[in-house]
Amino acid sequence: MRRLLILLCVFVSLSVAAEPLSEYQLKAGFAYNIAAYTEWPATDRRNFNFCTLNEENVGLGLAQFEGKQLHGRRLVIARLTSLVAIRQCQVLYIGEREAANLPHILKQLGDESVLTISDASQVTAVCVRLALDGERLVFDINLEHCQQARLMPGSNLMRLARVVTKP
């Protein structure tokens, strides 16, 4: 837990020392750290695909992580505009513009181990929901949706969540 707190503090403190980070850069940093502290089933994939679906701003914020190692694999950022390749993603960030399509998106994902993240206010059927609470960025975890995708957020991550919804 201490390591996660330090990472989040460093990420935020770097923004204070330089230019302030935008909301989308913060969301990208949170999403990256959430993915880092989530356990995935074993796979033989060479890359770790972090996708955004019609969410250009968060996709641009994620560009700073392109090529880094995540879960022992090279991180690839994909900014998708259709559902064609979503089953190849390990993380799928679903923005406000796609919130109405969430049932169709989840149906397309089927039983794939994809960590779904959204910042859309009306969305609850994802693994992690990011939200602004005043001027703070917070996140909620829905364990039922994580377990359906065979994913397990780390205990340290769950302690930092504002809300953890259990099945």
108 pLDDT more than 90: yes
Domains of the chain: 22-165 (3.40.50.2300)
- Which pLDDT score is estimated for 18? 58
Band (pLDDT 50/70/90 cuts) for residue 7 is very low
Residues 6+ apart with CB under 8 A from 111: 148, 149, 150
- Per-residue pLDDT of 64-91, as tens digits, reads 999 999 999 999 999 999 999 999 999 9
Tell me the β-bridge partners of 52: 79, 93
- Which pLDDT score is estimated for 22? 84
- Which pLDDT score is estimated for 135? 86
Cα R_g (the chain), whole angstroms: 15
| Residue 15 or residue 36, greater confidence | 36
Is residue 59 within 8 Å of residue 94, measured between CB atoms?
no
pTM, full prediction: 0.86
- Per-residue pLDDT of 126-159, as tens digits, reads 999 999 988 899 999 999 999 999 999 999 999 9
- Which pLDDT score is estimated for 163? 93
